[in-house]
Amino acid sequence: MVRIYVIDNGGQWTHREWRTLRDLDVETRIVPNTTALKELQKDHIHGLVLSGGAPRIGLKGSLGNCAEYLDAAEFPILGICAGHQFMARHFGGKVQPSKTPEFGQIELSLCIEEDFLFKGVPKKSIVWESHNDEVTHLPKNFITLGESENCKIQAMRHRDKHFYGLQFHPEVEHTQYGERIFQNFIGLCEE
């Protein structure tokens, strides 16, 4: 059984991420973001989800031990919302308050021809958002996978590692292809 933990950065939908993974038959747990990487490795996890968090957490300061996970992980990591913003900042990108924050229903446009995480997701689909800040400059070694009208970096990927960041929320019921995205992420972790 594939084992993927959810790092809790205090998001409203952290538990939804756990539920989506559990519904897809993943062995999963919510763990505080202060958990040491060593502890996670002891459980032989195959992947991590970095949850979103309370407003502005992505802008500055640390996000528990998320930096340690990103520096040393040999497994895939999916950063969502604040988790995505922190990932960008950690690798040298920039996060700023959004000119137009997005809440609720938004259209996501994919800007790549093919990517494993978005396998089976059409070029345009409905996703749900809830953010005040966003990634404005992509870190080196990352590529943009998707955008929306008001946010140019909705999805990004590390060039060499299985590190993904999503500004929107694939874990909520109203995101059209959310479960598909999770299935694909699980696929990456199974590799």
**Catalytic (active-site) positions:** 81, 169, 171
Binding span for other proteins by CB under 8 A among 19-27, 40-48, 67-75, 108-116: 19-27
167 is a contact residue toward other proteins (CB under 8 A):
no
Q: Long-range contacts made by residues 171-177, C-beta under 8 angstroms, separation at least 24?
A: 171/13, 171/16, 171/17, 171/19, 171/20, 171/80, 172/13, 172/16, 172/128, 174/105, 174/126, 174/128, 175/126, 175/127, 175/128, 176/125, 176/126, 176/127, 177/120, 177/121, 177/122, 177/125
Bridge partners, 50 (sequence order)? 7, 79
Least separation, in Å, of the C-beta of 97 and other proteins? 16
Biggest CA-to-CA distance, the chain: 43
173 is a contact residue toward other proteins (CB under 8 A):
yes
97 is a contact residue toward other proteins (CB under 8 A):
no
Structure tokens that stand for 168 in this block: 């929107």
Which of 36, 39, 54, 191 touches other proteins (CB under 8 A)? 54
Q: Using CB under 8 A, count the residues that bind other proteins.
A: 27
33 is a contact residue toward other proteins (CB under 8 A):
yes
Least separation, in Å, of the C-beta of 27 and other proteins? 13
Which of 37, 67, 111, 172 touches other proteins (CB under 8 A)? 172
162 is a contact residue toward other proteins (CB under 8 A):
no
168 is a contact residue toward other proteins (CB under 8 A):
no
